[in-house]
Structure 1
């Protein structure tokens, strides 16, 4: 599975929220199926995510700039929440 292609497909066909604040709100509301964080995500935010046992957190191997580019955005993205994957198979990472 090409992670970047699956991520772009999820953004295009599903419901994905970008940014730390939106992601935290989504977790709090219990809507997130999966969280993706950049490798250089701030440690305080990462610690908060690690305390969440009810949602799978995937660490993207690249920086927040690379994650933003993978999302097709011209800005940095350090965290995102996948609410609905749409036609993407990205949620299958939870089982891997």
Structure 2
């Protein structure tokens, strides 16, 4: 018997991958649930290398690193905000509108 995840094929945006494990755990959870995960972070690929290495096996995770793109926030079904991201971020405001 196969149980379909309610997250299957949903677009989940992880805002702030970070280096302390929370972003990695969130991205892994949603990837395993079958979501289409987009990780966005202002840090660059070299800065996030240790975190990115832990997620390399997941084919349903894509990245926008070194920047945030406004359109990503309007297209997401669910946004997970890293605790280091301020609640009044302009990108979260775009998502709320």
Of structures 1 and 2, the one with the larger relative CO (CA 8 A, separation 6+) is: 1
| TM-score normalised by structure 1 residue count | 0.36
TM-score normalized by the length of structure 2: 0.36
Larger Cα-atom Rg: 2
**Quick check: which one's helix share is greater?**
1
